[in-house]
Amino acid sequence: MSDTFFSGAPHWRWLIILYFFVGGLAGGACFLAALLDWFGRPEDRPVVRTGYYVAAWGAIISGLLLTIDLGRPLRFWHMLFQSANLPALMFKGWSPISFGAWAILLFGLFSVLSALGAMAEEGRLQTPAFHLLHRGALAKLVVAVAGLLGFFVAGYTGILLSVTNRPIWADSPWLGALFVASGASTGAAALMLLAPGRGATPRSLEWLSSFDSNALVVELLVLVVFLVSLGSVNRVWVSVWGLLLLVGVVGFGILVPLGLHLKPARFGSLATRPVVNAAKLVLLGGFLLRLATILASEGIDRYRVAVGM
Amino acid sequence: MPEAMGFFTDTTVCIGCKACEVACKEWNQLPAENGGIRELSGDSYDNTRRLDGIHWRHVRFIEQFSGPYNGRWLMMSDVCKHCVQAGCIEVCPTGAIIRTEFDTVVIQSDVCNGCRACISACPFGVIDINAVAGTAQKCTLCYDRLKVGLEPACAKACPTDSIQFGPITELRARAQKRKDQLRAQGVEAQLYGADPQGPLGGLNSFYLLVDEPEVYGLPRNPKLPSRNLKQSTSFSVASAAVLGVLALVGLRKRRMDEQPPSLS
Ligand code: SF4
């Protein structure tokens, strides 16, 4: 038996599952928006702006979810400053929850700046200072930092789980990589759903759809490697969570959307709006991935207590 | 600076009276579970079942019976191990968990914000949330009593000296002697956590066991959570790099696929 089976479950439930999903999606969307901002074409601007809005709202919602989930929410700032030694900063480079708190804060800051730039570009903010945030070197720098922090936020949640002593999470070093890939695919999916409303061109959507296919393939490969690396711990999947992982994540969240991207004609009624349907399924799969990996491990506490460990 | 202090628990003389559990609850003013209406476990005489935010001591009953008259009881008073290399301290993002001058590990309840990272980091399942405080809690090795020269409440209350408190070096020597004595009598005794070269740099609360660690609910080779940090980070960065390259290749392909603008 893996030594991880002797630890206690941290009661990370719905708020954290939702946070992992929203944070991953926002991070992935921000990364793609920044990439298109730097290397795309003028016709990609609607997607770029949508990406920054998704990132900013995602970061704000993530911060709220994390705070509400604390046992003492009003002490959330203890993660950023040493409460007994103000204004000294609180930062542990070796603790993912510590550097993650800073990453969320900075990601929020830079994605909101990028979103303000996007609003200025759309003419919704007239103050000249905001125009510095959508054209020129400063704007490029801000969105680059936001994009990199976005990918960081998408992946660190998996590293956070690995840097514990819990079954499944600490039994493999691949969760971070898996969450990065899932963040990228769900970020692209969110953009495919939302960007058309902001005037995205078919060419931008085509690129998003082809990137999403690639991200799904990477996600599937990393998921397989993750499962192989779990070894004997895989027996925990002989449960409702395993079914969810296989049917919900692999089937509906990866293989069906991949099929819709590559060979839509084979999917009957789903093929009427293949990109939209694929995007919805990718979002569902991304959510179920977090749900299954978190709750499968959380449930083991009950097992531990039940057998008197 | 005072020397490292801790517990040596000789499980062979524990009689399961739970005096330590009660003394701990009383001294630390820990609330009753479920308003004092306790559900019985139903399959064991052990109704506490686990350590958590309101049970900082737990007398574990291990009932090894293959028939009504054939078997044995093992009993172990379990507690925070006050690890020399503590996973809980390592991950705590608020600095609430500290190492004291007695080399023990204490959670400062007024600093903790209840993020619960320490619960999943502890290899022994020691910590949990105390619902009254809303913070993570566990044994403090009676830090308040140590400060004024008293021994911890549990060790004081233990009627058989199964829980012994003292300087770690002294306790280790005593534990070694006891192990040798039992082995000479043919008992398969072993020390768990007494070796400073062993896992986590040794445990400042260590045990004498007469069965495998797993039987007592103890991991054979407890590890620090940070063991996965480097590898996990590298794989995540690699995955991000692959996705970034795929995205750029896609953009380049799109540019190359574009028809050159017609001159007419
Ligand atoms: S046993 Fe757990 S709670 Fe106690 S010091 Fe070690 S890691 Fe921390």
- Cα(B58) to ligand 1 centroid in Å equals 15
B184-241 residue pLDDT tens = 999 999 999 999 999 999 999 999 999 999 999 999 999 999 999 999 999 999 999 9
Contacts within 8 Å (CB) and 24+ apart, A136-142: A140/A37, A140/A38, A142/A110, A142/A113, A142/A114, A142/A117
| Strands annotated E in chain B | 5-10, 58-67, 70-78, 97-99, 105-107, 128-130, 135-137, 163-167, 190-192, 205-209
The radius of gyration of chain B's CA atoms, rounded to the nearest angstrom, is 25
Chain A residues near residue B58 by CB distance under 8 angstroms: none
Q: Do A164 and B251 touch (CB under 8 A)?
A: no
Phi/psi for B92 (5° steps) reads -50, 120
CA of residue B43 relative to chain centroid, distance? 25
Does ligand 1 have an atom closer than 6 angstroms to the CB of B119?
Answer: no
Surface-to-core class of residue A94, CB atoms within 10 Å of its CB (0-12 exposed, 13-18 middle, 19+ buried): middle
Q: How many CB atoms lie within 10 A of CB B220?
A: 12
Kindly state whether A13 is in contact with chain B, defined as any CB-CB distance less than 8 angstroms. no
What DSSP designation does B12 have?
A: G
CB contact under 8 A, B121 and A173: no
Exposed, middle or buried by CB within 10 Å (0-12, 13-18, 19+), for A228? exposed
* Residue appearing with tokens 């900013």: A56
Q: How high does pLDDT run on average in chain A?
A: 93
CB–CB contact B243 A184 (8 Å): yes
Residue extents of the structural domains in chain A:
3-306
Torsions phi, psi for B94 (to 5 deg): -105, -10
CA-proximal residue: ligand 1, atom 6 (nearest) = B83
pLDDT at residue A76 is higher than 60: yes
Residue B11 CB neighbour total at 10 angstroms? 21
Instruction: Tell how strand B105-107 and strand B97-99 pair up.
Output: antiparallel
Instruction: Kindly give, in sequence order, each residue whose CB lies less than 8 Å from that of residue B145, ignoring residues fewer than 6 positions away.
Output: B27, B151, B152, B153
Distance from CA of B219 to the nearest CA of A (A): 5
pLDDT tens digit sequence for A251-309: 999 999 999 988 887 877 777 888 899 999 999 999 999 999 999 999 886 555 544 44
Residue partners of B164: CB distance under 8 A and separation at least 6:
B7, B8, B9, B10, B155, B171, B174
- Min mean pLDDT across A24-28, A93-97, A249-253, A296-300 is at A296-300
Q: List residues bridging with B72 in a β-sheet.
A: B64
CATH topology of domain A3-306: Formate dehydrogenase/DMSO reductase fold (1.20.1630)
CB distance A214–B243 less than 8 Å?
yes
Q: Which regions of chain B are under pLDDT 50?
A: 264
Cis peptide before A87 (omega within 30 of 0): yes
Rounded to 10°, the helix A175-194/A14-39 angle is: 70
CB atoms < 10 A from the CB of B43, how many? 10
Determine which residue's CA is closest to atom 7 belonging to ligand 1.
Answer: B122
Query: Is A309 exposed, middle or buried (CB count within 10 Å of its CB: 0-12, 13-18, 19+)?
Result: buried
Q: Is the pLDDT of residue A248 over 70?
A: yes
Per the CB < 8 A criterion, the answer to whether A170 and A53 are in contact is: no
- Give the gap in angstroms from C-alpha A211 to the nearest C-alpha of chain B: 6
- Residue B130: closest CA among B156, B153, B110, B105: B110
Q: Which residue has the tokens 């078919």?
A: A202
Predicted pLDDT at B7: 98
Min Cα distance B133 → chain A (Å) is 8
- Closest listed residue to residue B256, CA positions, set A207, A195, A263, A42: A207
Q: Is the pLDDT of residue A241 over 50?
A: yes
Is residue A18 over pLDDT 80? yes
pLDDT at residue A309 in the model: 46
Is some CB atom of chain B closer than 8 A to the CB atom of A32? yes
With tokens 């900082």, the residue in question is: B56
| Residue A197: CB atoms within 10 Å | 9
Q: What pairs with residue B5 in β-bridges?
A: B167
Reported as a pLDDT band with limits 50, 70 and 90, residue A97 is very high
Rounded (10°) angle between helices A202-230 and A14-39:
130
- Per-residue pLDDT band for A228 (boundaries 50, 70, 90) equals very high
- Residue B53 Cβ < 6 Å to ligand 1: no
CA dist., res. A226 & res. B15, Å (int) = 45
User: What residue has token string 């063991």?
Assistant: B227
The shortest CB-CB distance from A10 to any of B90, B116, B240 is to B116
Question: Using a CB-CB distance cutoff of 8 angstroms, which residues of chain A are in contact with residue B122?
Answer: 7-8, 165
- A71 → chain B, closest CA residue: B114
Contacts 24+ apart (CB under 8 A), B186-193: B187/B12, B189/B12, B192/B216, B192/B218, B193/B81
Find the residue in A nearest to B134 (Cα): A71
Residue owning the nearest CA to atom 2 of ligand 1: B122
Q: Kindly state the DSSP code that residue B19 receives in the 8-state scheme.
A: H
Ligand 1 lined by B122 (C-beta under 6 Å): yes
SS3 content of chain A, % helix, strand, coil (to 5): 80, 0, 20
A301, two tokens: 């506490």
